[in-house]
Amino acid sequence: MVDFVGRAKWDAWNALGSMSQEDAQKAYIDLVNSLAGGEEKTAAAQTDSGQKYKNLLITCENGLRTITLNRPEKKNAITKEMYEEWIESLKEAAEDPGTVITAITGSGDYYCSGNDLSNFANIDPSKMHESSKEAGVLLNRFVSAFIDFPKPLVAVVNGHAIGVCVTVMALFDAVYASDMATFHTPFSALGQSPEGCSTYTFPKIMGPAKANEMLLFNKKITAQQACDVGLVAEVIPANSFQQKIWPKLQAHAKLPVKSLVYSKALTRDMEKDILHKVNDAECDRLVERWTSEDCINAIVNFFNRKK
């Protein structure tokens, strides 16, 4: 393994020590705004003292369980803690006999802006390899939770979606999107590589050419374009999105749960072994990418621009 610690780039990385976590988070918001191509819009986070999770809101009514990503002030960017909560919430949904369908959506104007890059601001460069391996294990567990989820899983994409939250959508059973949503996987721009089994699922769903535009060349697509290539099942106008999507899902949740589970197993189980192998390979490559000069320089340059 190449030792990057002695290289000059670590001087720049260490210089990030003068940036507070708050400044790093603000810088991250600037980044996702530029990726989404829109102005920064934040919404006040909802709070519920009875909630089990810090970063998620969970409701379950008449068979429909809703998991809401609840960091609207940070564009629902995913922290390590949030990854763990998301994994646990899926396990809980799978085991709950009262849950028929699980829907995932976002609070505020974003569905999810992917990984919270502000986490990089506090990483000790001498522990970069160790931290990357730990992150790879966490990501593998996260994606596996989607691969193995036994019940119908639906994405309710209320706004912009970036990174890993886009790649795992191909593991959902249906994706419904607001016509204001966009889908962006800017991995190569950040010196990284795709995950979420997208290197297998995207070419299968949309064909190699369209998949490569997204996964290799960072193309951002609209909700309608995502629907046209088969990633999204239906696009709903933003001004009626919330009013239309939930009655639809509530109707689906009245269907016999065993019929849904067995039907999903017939359509999904034959590929589970393949998906787990793809997940392993993607995570292994990402561990290498996270410690590569390409990725480190991209992150360092990003934070230095925002200082």
Residue 118 phi, psi (nearest 5) = -65, -15
Question: What tokens does 109 get?
Answer: 């104007």
- Report pLDDT for 52: 86
pLDDT surpassing 90 at residue 15: no
- Report pLDDT for 91: 98
- Report pLDDT for 117: 77
Q: How confident is the model at residue 281 (pLDDT cuts 50, 70, 90)?
A: very high
CA 275, 233, 61, 49 dihedral sign is positive
* CA dist., res. 193 & res. 285, Å (int): 7
For 27-82, the pLDDT digits (tens) are 555 555 555 544 333 333 333 434 789 999 999 999 999 999 999 999 999 999 99
Asked whether the beta carbons of 63 and 99 are under 8 A apart, the reply is yes
pTM above threshold 0.95: no
DSSP 233: S
Place of tokens 């564009």: 75
Residue 78 phi, psi (nearest 5) = -95, 120
- Report pLDDT for 27: 58
- Report pLDDT for 29: 55
Per DSSP, the residues of 71-134 read: -GGGTTPBPHHHHHHHHHHHHHHHH-TT-SEEEEEESSSEEE--B-GGGGGG--GGGHHHHHHH
Asked whether the beta carbons of 63 and 37 are under 8 A apart, the reply is no
When pLDDT is averaged across residues 164-192 and rounded to a whole number, the result is: 98
- Report pLDDT for 298: 84
- Report pLDDT for 17: 52
For 104-139, the pLDDT digits (tens) are 999 999 999 999 977 666 677 778 889 899 999 999
When pLDDT is averaged across residues 16-37 and rounded to a whole number, the result is: 55
Q: Which helix (H) or strand (E) holds 259?
A: helix 257-268
Q: Does domain 9-306 have CATH number 3.40.50.1000?
A: no
- Report pLDDT for 177: 99
Q: Which helix (H) or strand (E) holds 160?
A: strand 160-162
* CA dist., res. 270 & res. 266, Å (int): 7
For 194-235, the pLDDT digits (tens) are 999 999 999 999 999 999 999 999 999 999 999 999 999 999
* CA dist., res. 213 & res. 294, Å (int): 20
pLDDT surpassing 50 at residue 5: no
- Report pLDDT for 171: 99
